Amino acid sequence: MSAALLAAAAMLGLLASGAGAVAPVKLRAVLTVILTVAACGCAGAAAVEVLSTGHTAVIETGSLMPLSRFALGLDALGALFTLVAASIGACAMVFRLGYAGHGLSSRTASSTLPLFVTTLLLVPAASNVTTFLYLWELMALTSLVLVLTDHRHRPEVQVAGQWYAVMTQLGAAAILIGLVLLATRAGSQSFTAIAERGPRLTPSVRDTVFLLTLGGFASKAGAVPLHVWLPRAHPEAPGPVSALMSAAMVNLGIYGIVRVGDGLLGGGPAWWWLLVMAVGALSALFGSLHSATSTDLKRLLAYSTTDNVGLMLLGVGASGLFAATGHRTLALVALAAALLHVAFHAVFKGSLFLSAGSVQQATGTRDLDSLGGLLRAMPVSAPIFIVGALAIAALPPLCGFVSEWLLLQAMLHGLPSSNTAIAIAMPVGVGALALTGGLTAATFVKAVGIGFLGRPRNEAVATAGDVPRSMATGAGVLATACLVLGVAPFLVLPAVLDAARTATGTTIADPLSRGWSLGLSGVHGALAPGLIAAGLTLAIGLVAGARRLAQVRALRHVEAWGCGREIQTARMQYTATSFAEPLIRVFDDVLQPVHDLDISHTAESRYYVESARFHTSLEDGFERHLYRPATSMLRWWGALTRRIPNGSVHRYLVFGFVALVLVLVVVA
């Protein structure tokens, strides 16, 4: 049954893509959305069935691709990622119905979008190397086309597309080399066969494969230092595409690391996982710091994706480290925490990116410094963003809190340990998580407080109306899920545990207590998210009641006092730039902001200022210190080699001759 559903999902996806290419423009959006949502529904149903029965859904056919069989096999680990992608895909497609901007209704975009969603659904189901690589590459290419949707109108889209194209193809090449090496050494390209033989390969092969695939998958996940494309490409993509990329596509990077590291190679030495944890901690800190200082709403969200990917990698790395040192149960719990964060991050980041898309459509800008007061102008979309923001800041009773709590518990219970690696890595992990948590809270107070509260900073924002119902529905479903999953995480926890068991190959029955309270078995103390939610509702209700009782007269709306200031204009409010200024100052060693103050004096006297210009910019440190030297070296090399073929036929004849001689020498 689940295999049929999976096949139906693939068919519907292809059909939707075809419909996008041939249907008349009026029907195009509706047709592709209906068919793609149906595809997501089928894939989601298949995933749920796999997770509930534990049977793998297998589809194999020999005639679909050259050189190899097309093989899909959805197991519990893949099913979790397919389920997440299906939920995000369905919501993003519903949102897309009302999303007018960015030329998404062009023939190319409408046929590419369903294809992209379908690859997101199928990549976790691929069960041999060739199928995986084909689907992976298709996913990379379709997402690239979608990022470039608006390239005619905005030059920054082209730059973003270039970065994305280069990074994603380098990553794909690394994965290709790694997996092909693995397949040839293991003597088979089927994942099940590799998983049997993978652990017995020589350490040098295993290390090479792990490092290559880690590089490729980490670049797709947007982990530091391979993240540079992410804060460019995710913001420039149209609203629903950014949501799909940030909430569903980056997950597949995590999937790849877990599938190859834990599944195909069967775990590895401690240093692999210490490396993963180090990358995770660095990504979390770097991402949260940059998202705390960004003033572009979607760029802020993109950096926070890097931050959350870092947290997932911390969990994955901790899990591998525990497994490498023999703590089986803890390994399972840590991986479950990471996968839970994958699922929950998808939910809240999806709602955030979709409502940021709504904001962009309604106001025409995503610059926080010119937004403001959207809670009045967009009474439906703004609360959706606020719920997502509270969830990502890990505040109870929303879902982000639960996964971060579980991650903290997993790292805490690794201590005290006789193993030095664990004893060092876990406190560092907790420290990174804590600093990230504080910065994320500041970031989203900024995003909500500057963008959605206060007064509108310009006319377009003040008169912006709310978006069509379909957009609000797509984002609203995800925001509701933030609350429901935060209160009742047991709805997804068994599925997450199944996925973690499949990945680690363990059969430990109940590492976590079930039901309304969540905690590690055999350990004192637990978390009852439902109880916290109920308690908060009760307490806030009581306090509100008491305030109502004490109230003598109705609430009076007055001019803001502001310490007695007479005129208060919208421009006097704190902006996102000024809000983040103390943070930039505190972390200036890391962020290295560039300030430029230009004062020109009047001709009469240098004591009078004629005009002053202040410019401040904040660049990505990795871009400046790593990528820019690399690209300038490439450019230098390109300029050098360009001099050799100068157009002279004689010279080309010499090249041909020399090459021929060399070949003959080598052959002889």
Partner 1 sequence: MSSSWPAATVAATSVLQVVLLVVGGPLLVGLMRKVRCRLEGRAGPPIHQPLLDLRKLARRERMRPEHATWVFSAAPLVLVGTTLVIAAVAPLLTTSPAFGQYGDLFAIVYLLLLGSVALALGALDTATAFGGMGASRAMTIGAVAEPALLLSVLALSIPAHSSDLPAIITGSLTHPIWLATPQRLLALVAFVIVIVAESGRLPVDNPSTHLELTMVHEAMILEYAGADLALVRLGESMRLALMICLLADLFVPWGIATAPGPAHVGLGLVAIVAKVAVLGAGLAAFEVTVARLRLFRVPELMAGAFVLAVLAVVSALVSP
Query: Is the distance from CB of 470 to CB of 95 less than 8 angstroms?
Result: yes
Site for partner 1 (CB under 8 A): which residue of 11, 177, 211, 430? 430
Q: What is the maximum span of the chain, computed from C-alpha positions, in angstroms?
A: 103
Cα(435)–Cα(427) distance, integer angstroms: 12
Site for partner 1 (CB under 8 A): which residue of 190, 219, 403, 573? 573
In angstroms, give the least distance from the CB of 582 to partner 1. Answer: 4
Query: Is the distance from CB of 301 to CB of 357 less than 8 angstroms?
Result: no
Site for partner 1 (CB under 8 A): which residue of 62, 66, 187, 525? 525
Q: Please identify, using beta-carbon distances, which residue of 563 and 667 lies nearer to partner 1.
A: 563
Tell me which residues in 166-185 interact with partner 1 (CB under 8 A).
none
581 binds partner 1 (CB under 8 A): yes
Site for partner 1 (CB under 8 A): which residue of 415, 491, 630, 663? 415
Backbone angles phi, psi at 557, to 5 degrees: -95, 120
Cα(39)–Cα(116) distance, integer angstroms: 12
Nearest CA to 473 among 371, 350, 331?
350
8 binds partner 1 (CB under 8 A): no
Cα(239)–Cα(352) distance, integer angstroms: 10
The angle subtended at Cα 29 by Cα 236 and Cα 244, nearest 5°, is: 40
In angstroms, give the least distance from the CB of 193 to partner 1. Answer: 42
Mark the segment that binds partner 1 (CB under 8 A) among 133-141, 246-254, 311-319, 554-562: 554-562
565 binds partner 1 (CB under 8 A): yes
Site for partner 1 (CB under 8 A): which residue of 180, 412, 484, 618? 412
- DSSP state, residue 646: -
Q: Over the range 109-127, which residues count as b (16 or more CB within 10 Å of their CB) and which as e? A: bbbbbbbbbbbbbbbbbbb
Q: Please identify, using beta-carbon distances, which residue of 546 and 594 lies nearer to partner 1.
A: 546
Q: Please identify, using beta-carbon distances, which residue of 172 and 439 lies nearer to partner 1.
A: 439
Site for partner 1 (CB under 8 A): which residue of 396, 486, 489, 511? 396
585 binds partner 1 (CB under 8 A): yes
Q: Please identify, using beta-carbon distances, which residue of 125 and 482 lies nearer to partner 1.
A: 482
Q: Could you identify the residue written with the tokens 């797709």?
A: 220
- DSSP secondary structure string, 10-37? HHHHHHHHHHHHHS-HHHHHHHHHHHHH
376 binds partner 1 (CB under 8 A): yes
589 binds partner 1 (CB under 8 A): no
Tell me which residues in 438-457 interact with partner 1 (CB under 8 A).
438-439, 441-442, 444-446, 448-450, 453-455
Site for partner 1 (CB under 8 A): which residue of 67, 509, 555, 668? 555
In angstroms, give the least distance from the CB of 572 to partner 1. Answer: 5
- For the chain, report the end-to-end CA distance as a whole number of angstroms: 60
Nearest CA to 403 among 320, 527, 506, 280?
527
247 binds partner 1 (CB under 8 A): no
How many residues contact partner 1, by CB under 8 A? 84
| CA separation, residue 366 to residues 47, 243, 298, 456, 462 (Å) | 36, 15, 7, 13, 14
Q: Please identify, using beta-carbon distances, which residue of 275 and 528 lies nearer to partner 1.
A: 528
Tell me which residues in 48-107 interact with partner 1 (CB under 8 A).
none
Cα(439)–Cα(451) distance, integer angstroms: 18
Cα(621)–Cα(289) distance, integer angstroms: 12
Give yes or no for a cis peptide into 489 (omega within 30° of 0).
Answer: no
Mark the segment that binds partner 1 (CB under 8 A) among 240-248, 484-492, 567-575, 637-645: 567-575
Cα(162)–Cα(429) distance, integer angstroms: 34
Site for partner 1 (CB under 8 A): which residue of 261, 437, 474, 511? 437
292 binds partner 1 (CB under 8 A): yes
551 binds partner 1 (CB under 8 A): yes
Site for partner 1 (CB under 8 A): which residue of 234, 259, 413, 501? 413
Q: Please identify, using beta-carbon distances, which residue of 275 and 583 lies nearer to partner 1.
A: 583
